[in-house]
Structure 1
Amino acid sequence: MDYSQSFAISAVGMNIERTRVDVAALNLANANTVQGVGGVSYQPLRVIAEARGVGALSSGANDAAAFGALVAQGLDADAVAVAAPLMQIVPTNAPPRLVYEPSHPLADKRGYVAYAAVDTATEMVSMMSATRAYEANVSAMNTTRTLALRALDIGSNT
């Protein structure tokens, strides 16, 4: 049995989840960034990951057919390479969060300061879910490693 695909799947999952944690940390670090004089402010980012070949399909029966094709590809004995998902980091393009602070040096004529549109609660939830998913991938990799070592032990005892 070839365990390299199981290791590769876990590694890809851990890479995506690490990126999600990094992006959430970057968003949290810039949560109180003020829009500068030039009008450019920090835009919160999101990680979008999708399986190759599935993203263009609409929901419904096409997704079921695509999933069946991916399962058949995974069950094919000749399929060696693991199709890594496409991962993109995209800005949310959310409008800035306006806070009334008339004494702030960067306040506009009405007394509002434009902060980055980062929702700290959403970012913390995103970071916690990415951490849990990373831990699940580590657990899957450790289980695969244990199975491989046990298979080697069984093979050496015969």
Structure 2
Amino acid sequence: MDYRAVFQIAAAGMDLEKRRVEVAALNLANMHSSVPAGQAAHAAQRVVAQPLQVNFNRAMGLAEPALLSREVQVVTNEAAPRLVHEPGHPHANAQGFVAYAAIDQATEMVTVSTALRAYEANVAVASTAKLMASKALEIGGQG
């Protein structure tokens, strides 16, 4: 059995989850940033990925493993900015409102948490495949 496909799949999963954490961190970092009146506030972003498609024969090592790829995009949420009444703020508009990014801290923290768990699961898959390959080599070497 060829374990390269398993490692490629796990690596693709880890890469996706790393991107999700990076984008959530960017959203959290910009959550309280404001811009002068008339300019667009930071918009929340999301990672969108197409599912991986793996040929069963390739996964079982019966065919040449192909490099896995999928389309991963970072899309911008076009939600209206959150307006907060702060008349003394230097970025306030004529009515005294400051535009902040429409970012929900709880949603971003859930994204970070679920991405971490998914990353850990992919690490476990890679570790298990490594252990299986090592055990197969041990068995083969004893004969």
TM-score (norm 1): 0.83
Matched, 1:75 2:57: yes
State the distance in 2 between where 1:120 and 1:82 align.
36
Q: Mind listing any 5+ residue stretches in structure 2 that lack a counterpart?
A: none
RMSD between superposed Cα atoms in Å: 1.6
User: In the alignment, which residue of structure 2 is the partner of 1:145?
Assistant: 130
Matched, 1:36 2:36: yes
Determine if contact 1:100/1:113 at 8 Å carries over to the other structure.
Answer: yes
State the distance in 2 between where 1:5 and 1:122 align.
33
Determine if contact 1:51/1:84 at 8 Å carries over to the other structure.
Answer: no
State the distance in 2 between where 1:126 and 1:86 align.
20
User: In the alignment, which residue of structure 2 is the partner of 1:120?
Assistant: 105
- Which amino acid is 1:99 matched to? V
| Count of paired positions | 140
| Overall identity of the aligned pairs, in % | 45
Q: Deviations over 1:108-149 (max 9, x none)?
A: 122211001111110000011001100000000000000000
State the distance in 2 between where 1:36 and 1:6 align.
50
State the distance in 1 between where 2:21 and 2:141 align.
42
Q: Per the alignment, in what secondary structure is the counterpart of residue 139 of structure 2?
A: helix
State the distance in 1 between where 2:91 and 2:23 align.
27
State the distance in 1 between where 2:51 and 2:32 align.
34
Q: Displacement of 1:36 after TM fit?
A: 2.5
Q: Per the alignment, in what secondary structure is the counterpart of residue 104 of structure 1?
A: coil
State the distance in 1 between where 2:50 and 2:12 align.
12
Q: Displacement of 1:79 after TM fit?
A: 4.8
TM-score (norm 2): 0.91
User: In the alignment, which residue of structure 1 is the partner of 2:114?
Assistant: 129
- Counterpart among 58, 70, 78 of residue 85 in structure 1: 70
- Which amino acid is 2:41 matched to? S
Q: Displacement of 1:43 after TM fit?
A: 1.2
User: In the alignment, which residue of structure 1 is the partner of 2:83?
Assistant: 98
State the distance in 2 between where 1:83 and 1:12 align.
7
Q: Mind listing any 5+ residue stretches in structure 1 that lack a counterpart?
A: 53-69
User: In the alignment, which residue of structure 2 is the partner of 1:12?
Assistant: 12
